[in-house]
Amino acid sequence: MAPTTNKSVLEWIDRQVQLVKPASIMWIDGSKEQLDALKAEACATGEMHKLNEELLPDCYLHRTKPDDVARVEDRTLICTPTKEEAGPTNHWKDPDECYKMLYDIARDSYQGRTMYVIPYSMGPVGSKFSKIGIELTDSIYVVMNMSIMTRVGQAVLDCLGDSDDWVRGLHCKCNVDKENRWICQFPQDNTIISVNSAYGGNVLLGKKCFALRIASYQGKQEGWQAEHMLILGVEKPNGEVRYICAAFPSACGKTNLAMMIPPEGYKKAGYKVWTVGDDIAWIRKGEDGRLYAINPENGFFGVAPGTNMKSNPNALLSTKSGSIFTNVCHNLDNNTVWWEGLDKNPPTNAIDWKGDPWNGAESTEKGAHPNSRFTAPAVNCPCLSSEFENPDGVPISAFVFGGRRAKLAPLVYQSRDWNNGVFVGSIMASETTAAAAGAVGVVRRDPMAMLPFCGYNMADYWQHWVDIGKTLDPEKAPKIFNVNWFRKDDDGNFLWPGFGDNLRVLNWIIDRCDGKVDARETAIGYVPYAKDIDLTGIEDEVPVENLERILKVNNDLWKNEIPGIEEFYARFGDRLPATMRAQLDQLIENLG
């Protein structure tokens, strides 16, 4: 019997059952017994593989089809009644046509399979920030991942009661056929349908589909924000903690920043960094007039390659129990996992991410897919913030935007005010790296790192930022900054060490928020004086001349940037907020 009497839930599920025709239905109740039974079943069928219980307790390995290993942006659709509402940066399809296409693909696709009904909460169950979803899936892999990434089970249904304020999510593996793979969001209907994929980002519907695409639209309607941001707390030696939300495009080190280890000297002095989230922030105004953020997720879905005890020990330690590894290399000698960049000892008796025998001493192919992932419970993270479960969220002192710019953006600069900060976020861009297909060093505009995740017209989203700003007392509004850890010299060497040393920059940001440090005004905003970025312990690595170089604002280079911004803005036509146009005109004037 269904564990809820909620009519909107039961009727919707009934309609999906008629469509996909499962052999049976199982409600996920959040219990360990049920999950253990499903894990055993998935191992028995070969869908999952149980890893070494001593070395990696309760951990599993899964491989997806080799053509189903990443999010598919060109097959991700925003289905609003008009194309205008989705805007020029989203792929759009008419909702009626899209439902028809999806129903034709999904019809009868659960035949002989079980339908798993996953009630889940994004955010602590019952928090005013939180939202509820129900995902239907024919994949135990999805059930296991959703049980790590979200709060799942009966408590969620109890919290929902009779309300129909919940997000409908239908996932159908079908035949995992890439020609018929679609990830579709219907913001006006609170609905997500994903077909023909069995890979994380496309099928864990609570994450990008709900917590960013649908939630960004909900936030616009309801006066809050869903952002592609990590949340971290910096604890100073006196015990005060300042919280920062930061948005970076993929491959800019968000998880590393969220879990960073302070440099030795800072550690000794008593600085600590606490992780609240590594990917998504839901933000709303608190009773005291400040903005507060929660992380709606309950785990980390991180990129495995490059994660090691030096680059990110906290992430690696998070994966040591209760985790799922997707498309990594399987070390047969001890039944554990390996990926490029984990250590210098690749296994020689292994199975690669495609399922083929692999010898790390000889093979020229990669053992793990570059986008292989770990799904790890947040509670495992050694630096998890004590505020992680706080239903009221954490107060935000600063928003930080950033990207990879070899020459242009200085190490850090502060916007003049809120609207100028929104402008800084709107012109965010990152240079492509050798890690991705296509030309290297090409500038890709990625406003607020939301390009693939904004569930409506990006111009309206900027206006929403401006509107939120209007509701805030400027004294209480978070200050907005931009950072660039990736400045290079003419020989292509990085000029800033990054990783834990980024705390030196966050410290300046916090001092600015606290009104404790002066700054130099430039055409683009406020830049630190070199003396105010502490280099103790890295003087050899970063001579003061280098720091001065990466704090310089080169007006000529910025002038070269203007046509690209103009071109990008032009795509939004009349919908571009007047405030953003005025900000761009002001920048042009400042550059002289």
Tell me which of Mn ion, ligand OXD, none is bound by residue 431, counting a contact when its beta carbon lies within the kind-specific cut-off of 5 to 8 angstroms.
Answer: none
| Phi/psi at 473 (5° precision) | -70, 125
- Residue 432 lies near ligand OXD (rule: CB under 6 A): no
What's the min distance (Å) between Cβ of 70 and ligand OXD? 8
Strands 520-521 and 394-402 turn out to be: unpaired
Burial 371-390 (b: 16+ CB within 10 A, else e): bbbbbbbbebbebbbebbbe
Residue nearest ligand OXD (C-beta atom): 250
Judged by beta carbon, residue 279 or residue 387, the one nearer ligand OXD is 279
Judged by beta carbon, residue 197 or residue 414, the one nearer ligand OXD is 197
- Residue 402 lies near ligand OXD (rule: CB under 6 A): no
Judged by beta carbon, residue 76 or residue 579, the one nearer ligand OXD is 76
What's the min distance (Å) between Cβ of 208 and ligand OXD? 7
Number of residues that bind ligand OXD (CB under 6 A): 3
Rounded distance, CA 248 to CA 220, Å?
Answer: 21
Mark residues 244-283: x for contact with Mn ion by CB under 5 A, - for none: -----------------------------------x----
Tell me which of ligand OXD, Mn ion, none is bound by residue 138, counting a contact when its beta carbon lies within the kind-specific cut-off of 5 to 8 angstroms.
Answer: none
Tell me which of ligand OXD, Mn ion, none is bound by residue 124, counting a contact when its beta carbon lies within the kind-specific cut-off of 5 to 8 angstroms.
Answer: none
Out of 79, 252, 329, 454, the active site residue is 252
Judged by beta carbon, residue 207 or residue 405, the one nearer ligand OXD is 207
Judged by beta carbon, residue 277 or residue 360, the one nearer Mn ion is 277
Please select the residue that binds ligand OXD; options are 8, 154, 180, 250, rule is CB under 6 A. Answer: 250
- Residue 227 lies near Mn ion (rule: CB under 5 A): no
What's the min distance (Å) between Cβ of 108 and ligand OXD? 31
For residue 450 the two structure tokens come to 């939301």
What's the min distance (Å) between Cβ of 72 and ligand OXD? 12
- Residue 201 lies near ligand OXD (rule: CB under 6 A): yes
Tell me which of ligand OXD, Mn ion, none is bound by residue 201, counting a contact when its beta carbon lies within the kind-specific cut-off of 5 to 8 angstroms.
Answer: ligand OXD
Judged by beta carbon, residue 227 or residue 387, the one nearer Mn ion is 227
Q: What is the 3-state secondary structure (H, E, C) of 13-58?
A: HHHHHHHHCCCEEEECCCCHHHHHHHHHHHHHHCCCEECCCCCCCC
Return all residues near 361 (Cβ < 8 A) that are at least 6 apart: 346, 348
Identify residues 277-316 at the interface with ligand OXD (CB under 6 A): 279
The single-letter code of the amino acid at 314 is N
Judged by beta carbon, residue 85 or residue 279, the one nearer Mn ion is 279
HSE value, Cβ hemisphere, 13 Å, CA-based, for 248: 24
Judged by beta carbon, residue 10 or residue 442, the one nearer ligand OXD is 442
Judged by beta carbon, residue 257 or residue 527, the one nearer ligand OXD is 257
Return all residues near 385 (Cβ < 8 A) that are at least 6 apart: 232, 233, 274, 275, 276, 394
Rounded distance, CA 134 to CA 127, Å?
Answer: 17
Number of residues that bind Mn ion (CB under 5 A): 1
| Closest C-alpha to 558, from 528, 529, 522 | 522
What's the min distance (Å) between Cβ of 279 and ligand OXD? 5
Judged by beta carbon, residue 12 or residue 461, the one nearer Mn ion is 461
Residue count of the chain, please give it. Answer: 592
Inter-residue contact 523 to 587 (CB < 8 Å): yes
Instruction: Determine the 3-state secondary structure of 161 from DSSP.
Output: coil
Inter-residue contact 372 to 305 (CB < 8 Å): yes
What's the min distance (Å) between Cβ of 283 and Mn ion? 16
Rounded distance, CA 383 to CA 281, Å?
Answer: 18
For residue 258 the two structure tokens come to 């969220």
Does residue 159 carry a catalytic annotation?
Answer: no
Q: CA of 546: how far to CAs of 376, 392, 539, in Å? A: 38, 42, 10
Inter-residue contact 189 to 155 (CB < 8 Å): no
For residue 3 the two structure tokens come to 């564990």
Inter-residue contact 181 to 72 (CB < 8 Å): yes
- Residue 446 lies near Mn ion (rule: CB under 5 A): no
What's the min distance (Å) between Cβ of 371 and Mn ion? 12
What's the min distance (Å) between Cβ of 155 and ligand OXD? 27
- Residue 68 lies near ligand OXD (rule: CB under 6 A): no
What's the min distance (Å) between Cβ of 11 and Mn ion? 34
- Residue 297 lies near Mn ion (rule: CB under 5 A): no
Rounded distance, CA 248 to CA 252, Å?
Answer: 6
Where would I find the beta strands (DSSP E) of 72-176?
Answer: 76-78, 91-92, 114-122, 131-137, 151-152, 166-172
Rounded distance, CA 472 to CA 289, Å?
Answer: 7
What's the min distance (Å) between Cβ of 395 and Mn ion? 23
Tell me which of ligand OXD, Mn ion, none is bound by residue 460, counting a contact when its beta carbon lies within the kind-specific cut-off of 5 to 8 angstroms.
Answer: none
Inter-residue contact 511 to 481 (CB < 8 Å): no
Partners of 184 in the β-ladder: 77, 193
The single-letter code of the amino acid at 319 is T
Inter-residue contact 353 to 327 (CB < 8 Å): yes
The single-letter code of the amino acid at 486 is F
Instruction: Determine the 3-state secondary structure of 463 from DSSP.
Output: helix
Contacting residues toward ligand OXD, per CB under 6 A: 201, 250, 279
Contacting residues toward Mn ion, per CB under 5 A: 279
| Catalytic residue annotation | 252
